[in-house]
Amino acid sequence: MSRQIEDFMKQIIQKNPGETEFHQAVHEVVESIMPFLGKNPNYVKARILERIVEPERVVMFRVPWMDDKGDIHVNRGYRIEMNSAIGPYKGGLRFHPTVNLGILKFLAFEQVFKNSLTTLPMGGGKGGSDFDPKGKSDDEVMKFCQSFMTELSRHIGPNTDVPAGDIGVGGREIGYLFGQYKRLRNEFTGVLTGKGINWGGSLIRPEATGYGCVYFAEEMLKTRGESMKGKVCTISGSGNVAQYTAEKLIDLGAKPVTLSDSQGYIHDREGIDGKKLAFVKELKEVKRGRIKEYAKEFDCDYFSAKDGKWPWEVKCDMAFPSATQNEIRANDARGLIKNGCISVAEGANMPTMPEAVKVFQEAKILFGPGKAANAGGVAVSGLEMSQNSERLSWTREEVDSRLHDIMTKIHEKCVKYGKEGKYIDYVKGANTAGFVKVADAMLEQGLV
């Protein structure tokens, strides 16, 4: 690590103690943009790096709620308003027991660069709670969402901060959150994205992150004269991103063979097809069951997470980590390479640990970091905001074609800033391209 990066990271760690995921995310960005900063001293003089790592605002609040038995619970709510240089804060809400300040700051930080890459006018933010929707009744989830929004509503608005979903926050939760906002403010506005299709939502929003990730992977493959047809693909997760990644892969003639949840993964050697995927959607969105049930239904292998099992041990051509942060370790990365994997596209945020990223880069395989590869979700959220502003709804085809176009443009930007001879360093490309737009806006807006 160069002296400059080391000194910078020392300050970050000192100022943000214990926030390991945030340190990790900042380190990755700083390491990859340092050479660019060396050639552009105007950013250094204006201390853009020091300013961009400091959230503009952090809100942390109590969320009390009552369960079906009448017992009272208290969770902690957060909203990190990271950067508004190029538009209102924008980023999802995560409800998961592991949520803490450091995780949300890492996600908000990543979001700033990701949103910048989409070409749309959106700043970066993220929020959520350590509430676990698993095992709760619909009523309990509603009561929690209402309590959460009662405080959050003071800080957000269609021109200020527009949250969306993330882990544990899907259509059901967005509905309850939106209902409470509308009730408190007496306003029907596009304050959240991922809304239901009959009340301001956009077609293709549920599909956007997964579809976008596959479009991005397809662009990466094209640089090596390859196509999706017949490619064996491993996917982790079985939630929103994983489901629609599988759907688009099937569409394009590839063969997804794994899905997972926090308890284990299934390996279906024959491939997950449309019918099997419909079963997964029903299992996860309606029955709220476990992926293990897929193995029973379709008679395939199941491996328990208790034994530290992730789908990365399965032989594949392409991998799509779509569950959570730090799910691919260096050993997994080495295993993937040994098994002939040629591409990893991150549907999740920061699923690959730094040592594993290095393994992919050294092997010179195609590695699309989340900031670029999973930006399709927030891109269509941006399109949902545009539709809400003009009070119109675009067709499925129109939104999908815009999504495709945005993913292609993101890929082009990564190539522009990440090309090193024949190799494309997508990490460097995404970080630098994302940084430049935000940094320039910050320079032009003065010291705020």
Residues recognised as catalytic: 126
Q: Which is nearer to ligand NDP, 8 or 126 (CB)?
A: 126
Residues 82, 112: contact at Cβ < 8 Å? yes
Q: Which is nearer to ligand NDP, 37 or 237 (CB)?
A: 237
Q: How far is the CB of 59 from ligand NDP (least distance, A)?
A: 20
Q: Which is nearer to ligand NDP, 180 or 374 (CB)?
A: 374
Of the residues 83, 202, 322, 387, which one makes contact with ligand NDP according to CB under 6 A = 322
- The H or E element containing residue 77 is strand 72-83
In the DSSP assignment, the letter for residue 391 is T
Q: How far is the CB of 285 from ligand NDP (least distance, A)?
A: 9
360: Cβ contacts below 8 Å, ≥ 6 apart: 333, 337, 344, 352, 367
DSSP codes joined into one string, 265-292: EEE-TT---HHHHHHHHIIIIIS---TH
Radius of gyration of the CA atoms of the chain, in A: 21
98: its two tokens: 């592991």
174: Cβ contacts below 8 Å, ≥ 6 apart: 164, 165, 192, 194, 195, 196
Q: How far is the CB of 188 from ligand NDP (least distance, A)?
A: 23
Contact region for ligand NDP (CB under 6 A) — 51-59, 61-69, 320-328, 382-390? 320-328
What's the number of CA atoms in the CB half-sphere (13 Å) around residue 248?
25
Binding-residue total with ligand NDP (CB under 6 A):
23
Spatial separation of the C-alpha atoms in residues 344 and 429, rounded to whole Å: 16
User: Pairing state of beta strands 89-95 and 124-129?
Assistant: parallel
Q: Within 10 A of 50 (CB to CB), how many other CB atoms are there?
A: 12
Contact region for ligand NDP (CB under 6 A) — 34-42, 161-169, 215-223, 438-446? 161-169
Q: How far is the CB of 254 from ligand NDP (least distance, A)?
A: 19
332: its two tokens: 């997994």
Q: Within 10 A of 303 (CB to CB), how many other CB atoms are there?
A: 20
Q: Which is nearer to ligand NDP, 263 or 395 (CB)?
A: 263
Nearest to 322 by CA among 434, 201, 175, 213: 213
One character per residue 214-243, x = contact with ligand NDP (rule: CB under 6 A): -----------------------xxxxxx-
Binding of ligand NDP at residue 388 (CB under 6 A)?
Answer: no
Q: For residue 310, how far is the Cα from the chain centroid? A: 19
Binding of ligand NDP at residue 382 (CB under 6 A)?
Answer: no
Binding of ligand NDP at residue 167 (CB under 6 A)?
Answer: yes
One character per residue 198-217, x = contact with ligand NDP (rule: CB under 6 A): -----------x--------
Q: Which is nearer to ligand NDP, 314 or 323 (CB)?
A: 323
Binding of ligand NDP at residue 369 (CB under 6 A)?
Answer: no
SS3 category, 54: coil
Q: Within 10 A of 372 (CB to CB), how many other CB atoms are there?
A: 32
Q: Which is nearer to ligand NDP, 261 or 425 (CB)?
A: 261
Q: How far is the CB of 372 from ligand NDP (least distance, A)?
A: 11
Binding of ligand NDP at residue 168 (CB under 6 A)?
Answer: yes
Of the residues 75, 193, 202, 324, which one makes contact with ligand NDP according to CB under 6 A = 324
Binding of ligand NDP at residue 347 (CB under 6 A)?
Answer: yes
Q: Which is nearer to ligand NDP, 282 or 362 (CB)?
A: 282
Binding of ligand NDP at residue 434 (CB under 6 A)?
Answer: no
Q: Which is nearer to ligand NDP, 43 or 125 (CB)?
A: 125
182: Cβ contacts below 8 Å, ≥ 6 apart: 188
What's the number of CA atoms in the CB half-sphere (13 Å) around residue 401?
5
One character per residue 248-267, x = contact with ligand NDP (rule: CB under 6 A): -------------xxx----
Q: Shortest Cβ contact with ligand NDP: which residue?
A: 239
> Is residue 292 classed exposed, middle or buried when 0-12, 13-18 and 19+ CB atoms within 10 A define those classes?
middle
Binding of ligand NDP at residue 75 (CB under 6 A)?
Answer: no
Of the residues 19, 21, 166, 317, which one makes contact with ligand NDP according to CB under 6 A = 166
- Sites of contact with ligand NDP (CB under 6 A): 165-168, 170, 209, 237-242, 261-263, 322-324, 347-349, 374, 377
